[in-house]
Structure 1
Amino acid sequence: MPIDATLPYDETNIFARILRGELPSKTVYEDDYALAFHDINPQAPLHILVIPKGPYVSWDDFSERADDAEIAGFIRAVGLVARELGLVAPGYRLLANVGLDSHQEIPHLHVHIFAGKKLGPMLVR
């Protein structure tokens, strides 16, 4: 169910549970600020999720409350994952949904990295 980005952080969300080691994930990268792993329901041949380790509901929440080291670390992690997976030359798409209208389903900031084929237009018209 989509969430309202203004809601408080829910410690029982699936990404919080992955971060605590309660649920498995197929990790591709991890550091002090971020965790990147394969999506369990991929929407492209390659579909990676990158999440900050802190309890942030959305991009807006993260940009308002995270400290500079967390912000830099998370953004660097997204770029590093794309480079390490060889996605820069062929291209890839980043997507971060925020709130109800965007259909955000998990109340933890996450960036989708889509790649592995030509992805077509951003939105269906």
Structure 2
Amino acid sequence: MAATFTTSFSLLRRARLLRGYTIPNAFSNTSLDRFRPTSAPLRPQRFVRYITASINEAASARAAAATADDGGPTIFDKIISREIPSSIVFEDEKVLAFRDVNPQAPVHVLIIPKLRDGLTQLGKAEPKHAEVLGHLLYAAKVVAEKEGIAEGFRVVINSGPAACQSVYHLHLHILGGRQMKWPPG
């Protein structure tokens, strides 16, 4: 824990100095929310949250990758079997679409294949998965229409720990309802 804090604080210090912010000494009683801008108009609290979330997200992805191929049920398998409740927006015989519990846009829906069949991430797709991969993209179009974002939406697939994949059951993120930025990440 201490190493994570030191590393996170070190990253924050470097990022803040590059942006014209001063960072209080790690051992002072000053709260991290009290950074004082020296010249940049960037909001410090938002930046701190972004860096912290990125570090936590990457750590979660590495931890999830360690058990990715153990064959055990994922949280998505439990949603499919209705052991865990979810807000379902679309379902057919091959896929299930439901609202993300931590939305990154006004509309943020996840689409998953009902049968995992070894498809834990896009990087492990085989020719036998071609049909379900195409069906997932078609389902993304159907969900976008149902959610009223067909005029503009983004489809994201995180594949592997370097892309911060945290659940090893292939899934698509459908994002929309606001102007998307480029580059995305």
Query: Given the superposition, is the C-alpha separation of residues 52 and 122 from structure 1 closer, same or farther in structure 2, using an over 3 Å criterion?
Result: farther
Which aligned pairs between 1:80-99 and structure 2 lie closer than 5 A?
A: 80-89=142-151, 91-99=152-160
Residue type of the alignment partner of 1:80: V
Which position in structure 1 is the counterpart of 2:87? 26
Which position in structure 1 is the counterpart of 2:36? none
Which position in structure 2 is the counterpart of 1:37? 98
Instruction: Give the conservation status (yes or no) of the 8 Å contact 1:10–1:107.
Output: no
Q: Which structure's relative contact order is higher, taking Cα pairs within 8 Å and 6+ residues apart?
A: 1
Structure 1 unaligned spans of 5+: none
Aligned length: 122
Structure 2 unaligned spans of 5+: 1-59
Which aligned pairs between 1:54-65 and structure 2 lie closer than 5 A?
A: 54-55=115-116, 56-61=119-124, 63-64=125-126
Instruction: Give the conservation status (yes or no) of the 8 Å contact 2:144–2:150.
Output: yes
Larger Rg: 1 or 2? 2
Which position in structure 2 is the counterpart of 1:75? 137
Instruction: Give the conservation status (yes or no) of the 8 Å contact 1:94–1:113.
Output: yes
- TM superposition shift of 1:86: 2.2
Give % identity. Answer: 34
Which of the two has greater helix per residue?
Answer: 2
- Structure 1 vs Structure 2 CA RMSD: 2.2
**Partner Cα distance (2:67, 2:75) in 1:** 18
Which position in structure 2 is the counterpart of 1:15? 76
- TM superposition shift of 1:7: 4.0
Which position in structure 2 is the counterpart of 1:106? 167
Instruction: Give the conservation status (yes or no) of the 8 Å contact 2:65–2:166.
Output: no
